[in-house]
Amino acid sequence: MQKNLKRTLLTAAALCCTLLLCGSPSSCDPKYWMDPENYEELQRPPSSRFTIHKIVKYRQGKETERTIPTYSRREVTVDMPWFSSKDVEKIEAIPRPSKPGYYDLKLTLSPQGRAPWIMLSNSTAHIHEDVAFVIDGYFYRAFRPRLLMEENDLTVIIDGPFDQATAKSLEYHSEFNYIKLNNK
């Protein structure tokens, strides 16, 4: 009984200190999720998580090859991911002028995500090869990655079309996924 009382009092004291240090609960830094109301948010798995893979045209029986489903109930064979949500700090949905209701994606790469993007875009550029954009384990579409033009540039555009629901979901979940996947 004494141990439970001590544990409860210590937890309450820690909670009070957290709230006092942060001011109001709404002013807490969301990266640290100090607010107890956000505990459930912290426990949820990443959503709208994406990976980028090279598409395998002819299977060679490698261990790195995987067959994944598409949203149209077909299957696509891809190699292991070259790039993922872990490498992107933020995604911004940019409307396509030629197609209302559809978007391109502007990715802000993390410093550790820059090198994999350069390797991916350089390895596919000279052979004009598309790569697979996979969302939550399902093939979404194929696209050709753009090269980074500036030496210190950390932004890249993925040409759509991405429908509004998908683009906005990727944008909404991108920062949480980066924090969650990198244990920040």
SS3 of 44-108: CCCCCCEEEEEECCCCCCCCCCEEEEECCCCEEEEEEEEEEHHHEEEEEEEECCCCCCEEEEEEE
Residues 6+ apart with CB under 8 A from 85: 46, 49, 50, 51, 174, 177, 178, 181
- Could you say which DSSP state residue 143 is in? E
Confidence category of residue 83, pLDDT binned at 50, 70, 90: confident
C-alpha to C-alpha distance for 170 and 135, rounded to whole angstroms:
9
- Percentage of residues of the chain with pLDDT beyond 70: 73
pTM across the whole model:
0.69
Mean pLDDT of all residues in 86-95: 91
For the chain, give the mean pLDDT: 77
